[in-house]
Amino acid sequence: MRILLISLALLLSSQTFALIIPDEYRSGREICKSTKRPKEHEIWLKVPVDYDYAERGMTDLFAWTNKPFDPLKKTVVFVSGGPGDTAHKSYLELHDWNVIFFDQRGNSCSRPATKELYLDPTFYSSEKTARDIEEIRKALGIQKVSVYGVSYGTVVGHLYGHHFPESTRAIVLEGVVFRGGIPLMRPQSRTRTLQSFFDSLPALTQERILEISNDPLIAKNWFSKVGTMMLYMDNSLETYKTFLENILFNDDVLYPVLKTFEYKEAMDEEFGYGHVMMGMIGCQELGMNLKGISFYSVFQDRKLVSDNFNDLDENYCVSLGLESDEFTNLYDAGKNISFSPTTYIQGSMDGATSVDGAFLHYQLASKGFSQFVLVDQGGHAPLHGPVSSGYERGQTVELRLEVLRMALLGEKISKEKLAKLSESSALSWTHR
């Protein structure tokens, strides 16, 4: 429990006044030369700054494998979420496949040569990133590639299947983003889940939660913010209940943990989480700059209601000059139909993307072979989390990898396979 408390404290301290971008700038090539990455087999290529305007020149894109690339094996390209995350610490491995990771344009080793281009909003888009994957495929001479996207990576993965069906073996989408804007920023399902959880707690616990929520030393939206982070995990509500039991009536623990909600500035990272990339994509395509949309809730007459503060707009969009609605071109998967074979994997309790949105994606955006796997009590990445962490071993990981292989081949996942996975993982995996 102590590790969980510390981890949550770090996660929940991310709310900031503004995004700090250091004056000194280094390109991705410079960063990669000075960063130790001993297991990585480097793949460097040049891609267009803008696929519609060749005169804008080329920029570096960095990809890698954790084992030597074998042209005789099938290949999957993994797309990280965020937007802004990177996969340098991923342990995802399929012994009979090439697994290609890449830093998306603007992030870590794929930062452009100049700070001017780095801070140019037109350098960034999910469609450009999907086209960058096609350049990776062509550079390595791969005939057909599978693409596995998690969280925001599902946007890029779906767009790749939409634009390049002839080059696509299969698409796997986990923690699925269907549309930007209100459905992503403030899904009703998340508020309903947290309200129902609060209502189920003992009366004494409820009163203590409300008391803390009115404490001037604690952020009023703490219950919603912790709950949202918990919903990223599998079996989240049981974990949240245990968490509350350990802090609510122990002030020595309570205040140090919950005071991490205080605002503090965030620094853009050269290597790691790309805050500039997050803002560029989030503010232009996902609705982070929409006024009045809040990711979190506060209590009003014992009910969770919006706190009416869009901290993402304040912290990212304003800092990058993207606060105006004129920069908003909201992503909508339904406007980018894909005929590529697609498997959807969605946790029922996902705090970032909703089951309803994922199922609409399945119904409206995929017109070829498709299948929808629902993971009851699953969080944001019920398959990817255990197979990429490097910490988990045994049958439950192997069964997840077997399911992933079938999906990457565009094959129907059998009920029997899902039943075995359900037995081993303490989660229920079913077709919907």
Do the domain assignments include residue 11? no
Host domain of residue 415: 28-181+331-431
Domain membership of residue 324 (yes or no) is no
- H runs (alpha helix) in 164-231: 182-185, 188-200, 203-213, 222-230
The answer to whether residue 134 is domain-embedded is yes
Would residue 192 count as lying in a domain? no
In a domain, 233, yes or no: no
pLDDT at 14 over 70: no
Q: Does a structural domain hold residue 229?
A: no
Claim: this prediction has a pTM higher than 0.85: yes
pLDDT at residue number 293 = 84
**The tokens of 419 are what?**
């039943």
- Residue 171: predicted pLDDT: 98
pLDDT number for residue 260 = 76
Residue 240 belongs to a domain:
no
Residue 281 has what pLDDT? 97
Using pLDDT thresholds of 50, 70 and 90, give the confidence band for residue 10.
very low
- Label residue 393 by pLDDT band (50, 70, 90): confident
Question: Across the chain, which distance is largest between two alpha carbons, in Å?
Answer: 66
Q: Residue 345's beta-bridge partner residues?
A: 174, 373
Give the model's pLDDT for residue 312.
87
Distance CA 101, CA 76 (A): 9
User: Is the pLDDT score of 266 beyond 90?
Assistant: no
391 vs 80, higher pLDDT: 80
Q: Around 407, how many Cα atoms within 13 Å sit in the side-chain half-sphere?
A: 28
Is residue 310 very low, low, confident or very high in pLDDT (cuts 50, 70, 90)? confident
CATH code, 407 = 3.40.50.1820
What is the pLDDT, as a whole number, of residue 355? 96
pLDDT tens per residue across span 106-132: 999 999 999 999 999 999 999 999 999
Q: Give the Cα separation of 288 and 277 in Å (integer).
A: 13
Check residue 267 and give its pLDDT.
81
**Closest by CA position to 284, among listed 333, 334, 324:** 324
- Would you state the pLDDT for residue 416? 96
Q: Is residue 325 part of a domain?
A: no
Please provide residue 150's backbone torsions phi and psi, each rounded to the nearest 5 degrees: -120, 135
Residue 389: pLDDT band (50, 70, 90) is confident
Q: How many structural domains is the chain composed of?
A: 1
Give dist(CA 285, CA 79) in Å, integer: 17
Print burial letters for 50-62: b (CB count within 10 Å at least 16), e (below 16): eeeeeeeeebbbb
